Structure 1
Amino acid sequence: MHVPDGFIDAPVSAAAGVVAVAAVAVSLRGARRELDERAAPLAGLVAAFIFAVQMLNFPVAAGTSGHLLGGALAAILVGPYTGVLCVSVVLLMQGVLFADGGLTALGVNVVNMAVVTVVVAYALFRGLLKLLPGSRRSVTAAAFVAALLSVPAAAASFTLFYAVGGTTDVPLTKVFGAMAGVHVLIGIGEAAITAATVGAVLAVRPDLVHGARGLAAPLKLRVGGALVDVPAAAPVPAAAAGARSTRGMWATGLATALLLAGVASFYASSSPDGLEKVAADQGIDRNVSEHAAADSPLADYGVKDVDDARLSGGLAGVIGVGATVVAGTGIFWTVRRRRAQDASTGSPAATASSAA
């Protein structure tokens, strides 16, 4: 759902840019509370994983494909504020390095794919957890529903932008109907990927899933034919809990992202994604303009002057994962250090964070 340059006019694109900058600023501040010893090392990896999975377009209808947006996944794994930052880093890397998503439309894309998906998904996720039993299975089920509905919400957000600043004269009812229909189907794929990933992390390191903290079910033993709760262990200090090694999870996640982007992406669907298909069918793309980074050596997810398509796409994917994990990790560790500095000076923000 990467909006290219020319779909939305300049004034609305500029206004979206202002909203996106404000959302990122708020998220940078909010992420200080989320990026603790457990989340900070993994946030950059989450961004890289989303980048990799977004290269895996899956077919959803005749001549149409979809890909992960990632807002729900990021929010549930590392928190909503950090989730906005994760998806924003991905969009920035894609726009600057790979000419995917217009640069003038970057604000629109951040609002649609980072802010709207995270806000809608996380609100639904927390609401569902209040209704469901406090178990890992409930976390996975809530993640599925939240991710599913976040995609048509992003499609509706694009339709709103088009209603205000669309550069072509296409009836709004046609745009909304086409966008909603195809993105409900894409949402099913988004939900499956999100639930599978959250479930996999829950199975090995539930303490690393932000949305599952405090929901661990007590262990039970069968005594005399009846199930009884195992006595709770003594609480572990937060610092000691955070010190648990994440190297294994980090290495496994990075290897998976590299494999997906470097190898599996070659087998992804080549059909246009939902927005591209709707734009072509409805005439929204009549005023599309060439991307400012169209001459980038990595444009269109290929390496310039590498003739072998498999090798070119694989190298581009590996470079993208590497660039995203480096940029994301740098940003998140900077935010983490700022939290530590606040704590050392006893700032109100640090006090509130510690209390939380």
Structure 2
Amino acid sequence: MHMADALVAPAVAGTMYACSAITMGYSIKKIRLENEPKKIPVMGVMGAFVFAAQMINFTIPGTGSSGHLCGGMLLSAILGPYAGFLTMIGVLLIQCLLFADGGILALGCNIWNMAFYGCFIGAMVIWTLIMKNGMSKRKITIASILGSMITLQLGAFSVTLETLASGVTELPFGVFVATMQPIHLAIGLVEGLITASVLCFIYEARPELLWSDSGRTGVSPEKQGKLSYKSTFTVLAVVTIVIAGLLSLAASANPDGLEWSIQRITGIPEVAASGTVYDAAEKIQSLTAVLPDYAFKGSDSKAGTSLAGIIGGMVVLGVCVASCFMFRLFRRKTE
């Protein structure tokens, strides 16, 4: 659901950049009040995992469309809404700059649509309510599916509102909404199942890694993890490498939900825009994108996809960890 620059007017792009930046600043402020340095490696590993998982587009049967994991709900169920939101920013930033996945002008919109709802509505509302009286695999599954479906619906609706405010006349609001919402409902269901699988694994391996707004894990004291921290992270790291380097090659070639919706309405998978701002954004992105569309420039070699997945995951991990130290996260202020 990464929006291209052509879908947003500069004024809308600036507004969404401001909304995302304010939320980022607030998240940094909240995290600085925490004293949980163990979250640093978790942010890195899970950020890399989400980056890799987003490379796998899964086919939505009978539609000719595909979808991919957004990851906000998954990250926030482990890291909490604030650290989850910052980790998602790292993922989306690297996708935009290094791989030209989503426009630079539209980055603020993509952060809001793909990260804000999953991390804050998904975690602070849906996850919190369902886990109120303790965690279980059944509750985790329900929260994952319900949270993914609802937050993806909110994200898809935001896309239609942003195009409406931008005056993209090729995409009439009513028709765009009627096309976008059903396909993203199906995508949200699949994302929910994937999210539930990962979270249930963590619940069995190290249940205390799962987030609770009460400051406790919400897990019964009798519940013991089956793996050590080191083993849990090793499994997640190995799975991330396998997804990025191998499974990404099996990604569906069908257009994702947003591209599919645009094609259904206009007959083409994307709309065009021209102007000084759009030209400047495209020029910047052409300079920063070392592996555009997760491939070698001018080549269809599958090695480019594998390399992009592995490099991207490593860069996301590095950015997340480095940001923790740069912003001095997880350290209490001294009087």
TM-score, structure 1 normalization: 0.83
Query: Counterparts of 2:192 and 2:173 in 1: how far apart (Å)?
Result: 27
Name which of structure 1's ranges 136-145 and 148-157 shifts more when overlaid on structure 2. 136-145
Aligned residue in 2 for 1:226: none
Task: Rate the CA distance shift 1:99–1:134 in 2: closer, same or farther, 3 A.
Answer: closer
Task: Rate the CA distance shift 1:255–1:156 in 2: closer, same or farther, 3 A.
Answer: same
The offset of 1:169, in angstroms, is 4.1
The answer to whether the Cα contact below 8 Å between 2:32 and 2:332 also exists between their aligned partners in 1 is no
Superposition map of 1:1-356 within 5 A: 1-33=1-33, 36-61=36-61, 62-122=63-123, 123-130=125-132, 134-211=135-212, 213-219=216-222, 246-283=229-266, 285-288=270-273, 291-292=282-283, 293-294=285-286, 296-304=289-297, 307=299, 309-335=301-327, 337-340=328-331, 342=333, 345-346=334-335
Task: Rate the CA distance shift 1:63–1:35 in 2: closer, same or farther, 3 A.
Answer: farther
Q: Flag structure 1 segments of 5+ consecutive residues without an equivalent.
A: 221-232, 234-243, 347-356
The offset of 1:280, in angstroms, is 1.8
- Residue 131 of structure 2 aligns to a residue whose secondary structure is helix
The answer to whether the Cα contact below 8 Å between 2:295 and 2:302 also exists between their aligned partners in 1 is no
- Residue 5 of structure 2 aligns to a residue whose secondary structure is coil
Task: Rate the CA distance shift 1:216–1:146 in 2: closer, same or farther, 3 A.
Answer: same
The answer to whether the Cα contact below 8 Å between 2:3 and 2:102 also exists between their aligned partners in 1 is yes
Larger radius of gyration: 1
The answer to whether the Cα contact below 8 Å between 1:34 and 1:78 also exists between their aligned partners in 2 is no
Query: Counterparts of 1:183 and 1:250 in 2: how far apart (Å)?
Result: 31
Q: Flag structure 2 segments of 5+ consecutive residues without an equivalent.
A: none
Task: Rate the CA distance shift 1:282–1:294 in 2: closer, same or farther, 3 A.
Answer: farther
Counting aligned pairs with the same residue, the percent is 30
The offset of 1:150, in angstroms, is 1.2
Name which of structure 1's ranges 120-129 and 207-216 shifts more when overlaid on structure 2. 207-216
Residue by residue over 1:202-239, the C-alpha shift from the partner in whole angstroms, topping out at 9 and shown as x without a partner, is 1110111114943222539xxxxxxxxxxxx9xxxxxx
Query: Counterparts of 1:218 and 1:85 in 2: how far apart (Å)?
Result: 30
The answer to whether the Cα contact below 8 Å between 1:45 and 1:329 also exists between their aligned partners in 2 is no
Query: Counterparts of 2:27 and 2:228 in 1: how far apart (Å)?
Result: 26
Task: Rate the CA distance shift 1:139–1:38 in 2: closer, same or farther, 3 A.
Answer: farther
The offset of 1:251, in angstroms, is 2.7
The answer to whether the Cα contact below 8 Å between 2:64 and 2:254 also exists between their aligned partners in 1 is yes
- Residue correspondences, number: 319
The answer to whether the Cα contact below 8 Å between 2:69 and 2:191 also exists between their aligned partners in 1 is yes
The offset of 1:162, in angstroms, is 1.7
Note the aligned Cα RMSD (angstroms).
Answer: 2.4
TM-score, structure 2 normalization: 0.88
The offset of 1:121, in angstroms, is 1.0
Residue by residue over 1:106-126, the C-alpha shift from the partner in whole angstroms, topping out at 9 and shown as x without a partner, is 111111111122222111111
The answer to whether the Cα contact below 8 Å between 2:79 and 2:211 also exists between their aligned partners in 1 is yes
The offset of 1:134, in angstroms, is 4.3
- Residue 285 of structure 1 aligns to a residue whose secondary structure is coil
Query: Counterparts of 1:95 and 1:33 in 2: how far apart (Å)?
Result: 30
Query: Counterparts of 1:317 and 1:35 in 2: how far apart (Å)?
Result: 32
Name which of structure 1's ranges 132-141 and 146-155 shifts more when overlaid on structure 2. 132-141
Task: Rate the CA distance shift 1:155–1:324 in 2: closer, same or farther, 3 A.
Answer: same
The answer to whether the Cα contact below 8 Å between 1:117 and 1:153 also exists between their aligned partners in 2 is no
Task: Rate the CA distance shift 1:318–1:341 in 2: closer, same or farther, 3 A.
Answer: same
Name which of structure 1's ranges 279-288 and 180-189 shifts more when overlaid on structure 2. 279-288
Residue by residue over 1:19-71, the C-alpha shift from the partner in whole angstroms, topping out at 9 and shown as x without a partner, is 11111111111223456133222111111111000000000143200000111
The answer to whether the Cα contact below 8 Å between 1:54 and 1:68 also exists between their aligned partners in 2 is yes
The offset of 1:308, in angstroms, is 6.4
1:49 aligned partner, one-letter code:
F
The offset of 1:159, in angstroms, is 1.4
